[in-house]
Amino acid sequence: MFTARITSFFLFVLAFGVFTTSAIPATKRATPADVEDVLNTLQSSTGSITPQIDALVASNQANSENIAPLVSQLTSALNTASASLTALDKRSLIEGRQVDNNAVASTVAGVVSSISTSVSPVAAFPGVVVLLPGLDLALSVVLKDVEHLLAGVLKLVAVLLVDVGGLLKSLAFTLTLLALGL
């Protein structure tokens, strides 16, 4: 019962944060390179967090106390990327040069795969399980932001993540699965 209250409070706070960041007006003229920069920064951020989770799991030292902060860092990195993507102006992307959708899809698929693979072994930990809905929400928002800016990219991402779909389902990442159409 206590866990349900904490979970509902956490989801309320997270939803409030998502709505406030999605209300940021688009003020910057974006180029395709800006989208790629945001996604590369996200990949770099998650790429520094997921190996820490993997190392703790491999050494049998993973527990709620040391994994939960890392999952929170993943959620924070995703929220930062979402805010950056939301601030970009889609109209200037249409006028600018074309983006290599395959490269963008590969980067996004790498982020999703890395997160889901690292979080899966620790998903049942009590301090982590309450953070997973927030991680799912943040990941799905980034996916929708990318699709908003670069239409059609999520179809390519979904093709690349067919093998990870079962893992996402086992993590109960329903919003991410829906965003990908899996």
Q: What pLDDT, in 10s, does the model give residues 102-156?
A: 888 889 999 999 999 999 888 888 888 888 899 999 999 999 998 888 888 888 8
- Chain centre distance of CA 20: 17
Span 23-31, mean pLDDT? 54
Q: Is the pLDDT of residue 92 over 70?
A: no
Number of domains in the chain: 1
Under 8 Å between Cβ of 147 and 154: yes
Q: pTM of the predicted model, to two decimals?
A: 0.76
Spell out a b/e string for 39-51, using b for 16 or more CB atoms within 10 Å of the CB, else e. Answer: beebbebbeebbe
Span 30-38, mean pLDDT? 77
What pLDDT sits at residue 157? 87
Under 8 Å between Cβ of 50 and 114: yes
Q: Is the pLDDT of residue 177 over 80?
A: yes
Alpha helices in the chain (DSSP H): 2-22, 32-58, 64-86, 90-95, 101-119, 126-129, 132-149, 153-160, 165-170, 174-180
Residue with tokens 């999520």: 154
Phi, psi of 98 (to 5 degrees): -75, 150
Within 13 A of 55's CA, how many CA atoms are on the CB side? Answer: 8
Under 8 Å between Cβ of 115 and 157: no
Span 154-171, mean pLDDT? 82
Under 8 Å between Cβ of 31 and 150: no
- The closest of 109, 42, 107 to 81, measured between CA atoms, is 42
- List the domain range (segments joined by +) for residue 106: 2-23+30-180
What pLDDT sits at residue 26? 46
Q: Cα(114)–Cα(50) distance, rounded to whole angstroms?
A: 7
What pLDDT sits at residue 82? 93
